[in-house]
Amino acid sequence: MPLPCRPPETSTSRDGKKRWAPTSRWSLPMSAEALAIESDFFAPRAAIDDLLSEFLTEKAQNASVPGQAALALLLRDFVAGGKRVRPLLCVTGWLAAGGRGDPAQAVRLAASIELAHACALIHDDIMDASDSRRGRPTVHRVLADHHHVPSTAQRYGLSGAILLGDLALVWSDELLHTTPMPDAHRVAVMRCVDLARSELIGGQHLDLLTTGDLHVSIETTMSVVRYKTAKYTIERPLQVGAALAGAGRQVMDACSAYGVPLGEAFQLRDDVLGVFGDPDRMGKSRLDDLREGKCTSLIVHALRASGPAQAGRLRALIGDPHLGEQEAAEVRDILTSTGARAAVERMIEERYRQALDALASAPFPHGASRILENVVETVVHRTA
């Protein structure tokens, strides 16, 4: 059974090869000043989307290995649903460092970041045994459901998704290495990219190591938050874009001072939404984290503040793969009555203030600062 991918629209070039024919084109402002004046975080999104769609469609059209075209189209459909937080922060980091050079270079680098993120998400869904993401079946489920040999479908789905994640990372590197930039800037960009990937893998491993362990400390849970999300999601994408523009140490440090607390607030908000959020808005179940036994700051605070009876119920329910909505409601009641939810909200508020304070003293152009201020509000007060 073929994979459920939308066929690309194509045209034929003079050399006879099929090329992607875009149905629409967003005109990227041709200067950093034009981008900054808009003060719109999402302004470059259409350009990033177009580049990703074109790149992956051409990979499908020119695939030389049987079966790879379908994988390329599946990856194209998967990345089409993302929020683009990391690539948009990359472009904003480029603006924050003065936006020197061609905006198209920042967009290409941003698209590279999104493909690397696709790799991380595909692999994360396998590790978490998740069936849905963004309201749609995960990649390994799609591959399994459309495999032509039922007896090996599950194994094929998992193995094929691992390979597609790897392929996304290879193509991320292709975009990265073909982005024009001065050699000195390339060294700085690569250092940030390497750090981001290493920190993400370390944070993911620590997350796996502590899942199901309800005796971990708040310091350990915050290490997971810092390395799996905060640095990878906010700090490093900003620094990658800033490095492309040739940022000095002061700008790079300002990206860290702003990015780390905001990234921690981002993940803490995610932890709250993972238990208390609206599944329809989030596109995923709010039972997953509880069933997996994720020991988040929310859980640690509740265990610290609860009496023996409540702590016993938490330990009995969290990590139960068959946990139902009724039991989950009991967990939510305990998280609320012990003050754990309020404690995490205070942690979010503290990091919200830290990010704004860092931004107030950052040596960023006014337009970039306005964009980043709006990002703080969006991250902290989001509902999905």
DSSP string, 182-211: -HHHHHHHHHHHHHHHHHHHHHHHHHHHHT
> With 80 as the cut, is the pLDDT of residue 162 above it?
yes
pTM of the model: 0.88
Query: Which CATH entry fits the domain spanning 187-384: 3.30.70.20, 1.10.600.10, 3.40.50.20, 3.40.50.2300?
Result: 1.10.600.10
Give dist(CA 379, CA 356) in Å, integer.
12
Q: For 32-89, write each residue's pLDDT tens digit.
A: 555 554 568 888 999 999 999 999 999 999 999 999 999 999 999 999 988 899 999 9
The predicted structure's pLDDT at residue 21: 33
Higher-pLDDT residue of 172 and 28 is 172
CATH 1.10.600.10 placement within the chain: 41-80+103-179, 187-384
Q: For 238-264, write each residue's pLDDT tens digit.
A: 999 999 999 999 999 999 999 999 999
Q: Which residues of 229-260 are buried (b: 16+ CB within 10 A; e: fewer)?
A: bbbbbbbbbbbbbbbbbbbeeebbebbbbbbb
> With 60 as the cut, is the pLDDT of residue 112 above it?
yes
The predicted structure's pLDDT at residue 39: 64
Q: For 268-295, write each residue's pLDDT tens digit.
A: 999 999 999 988 888 778 898 899 898 8
| 41-80+103-179: in CATH 1.20.140.10 | no
